[in-house]
Homo-oligomer: A and B are copies of this chain.
Amino acid sequence: MNQTIILQSRPQGTPKLENFKIIEEKKPEPGSGEVLLQAKYISVDPYLRGRMRDEESYIPPFKVGEPIDSMVIAEVISSNNPNFKEGEFVSGMLQWKQFQISNGAGLNKIDEQRAPLTAYLGVLGLTGLTAYIALDKIGKLKSGETLVVSGAAGAVGSVAGQIGKINGCRVIGIAGSDEKIKKIKDDFGFDGGINYKSTSNMKKALAEKCSDGIDVYYDNVGGEILDAVMQNINDFARIINCGAISLYNKEEMPTGPRLEGILIKKSALMQGFLVRNHVKDFGPAINQLGTWLKEGKLKYDETIIKGFENTPQAFLDLFDGKNTGKMIVEV
């Protein structure tokens, strides 16, 4: 049989297990030009929460009663498509199914010799690309500048911080536990970190850790941490709005301090970043990230949850910060 995870109902606020349902389907048969894929690793990501809303966004919303999809590493089990051979591994936006059919469109072959399969969902996948391209296009790091990264122990944040170090920046990370702060310093080479959960005055804590002010902020969380950063930015600061996980589960439009006055006073820039708008830059970016990986300049971390049926829980755990690095389900 073939387990499939569907969106059972749209979440109100924080998603719950009951919003998902596992159903059993028949294992499909590939037709002419098609391949049969078996999912090996499934990426669960905060942005999927947005697709669970019934509203226009940059990717179409999921439909109630239909399967969720996300980035998946799959093995070609059988192939009627000359471009793919049995036993090859591919990545692509695939459904949360144990087995599925593809005509090959949108699949990328991946090389297990270059890096482990799961790296292609993280440091060499969308999360690594998100960190690299956003810093390249918006951050424009200069040696000696101070980079602050929120969600610093996460898949994007940990790569962003390491790229900061490679570029000669002082890098301070923000994360939600002392364990994560220890990890970003010991494993990823950050110069310092702030546990926002145990810090009452983030503005002051940032001022202390960033005595020369903040030049670039890689923001994965939005909300009050962004506000605190804004009160410490330097002239010509660049704020990369890459994620706003603190807002994703809110039903009402959240309010906060108006930032336009600070932007003017500091001649600062805030820019939203979606990696999907930069597909043409993926090739060179993967090459650079792959080179750093081989040189040992780039490390990565992943949290691997075993069992296809645990995919919804792994997704929910993202919002409790239970992952360190890329959250992946091993099917």
Contacts and interface: CB of A to CB of B under 8 A. Distances in A.
Interface string A258-279: 1111111111111111100100
Count of this chain's copies in the oligomeric assembly: 2
B265 A271 contact: no
A314 interface: no
Given A247-B260, A255-B255, A260-B222, A269 B270 contact: yes
A217 to B, nearest CB: 11
Contacts of A215: none
B274 A264 contact: yes
A34 interface: no
A259 B256 CA distance: 9
A258 B219 CA distance: 14
Contact of A267 (B223, B265, B277): B277
Interface size range of chain A in the complex: 35 or more
A265 B272 contact: yes
B247 A263 contact: no
B272 A263 contact: yes
Contact of A241 (B247, B253, B263): B263
Chain A at the B interface: SS class: mixed
A219 B264 CA distance: 11
Contacts of A256: 255-256, 258
A256 B255 CA distance: 5
A296 interface: no
A242 to B, nearest CB: 7
A263 B219 CA distance: 12
Nearest to A236: B277
A267 B260 contact: no
A264 B243 contact: yes
Nearest to A271: B269
A244 interface: yes
A226 interface: yes
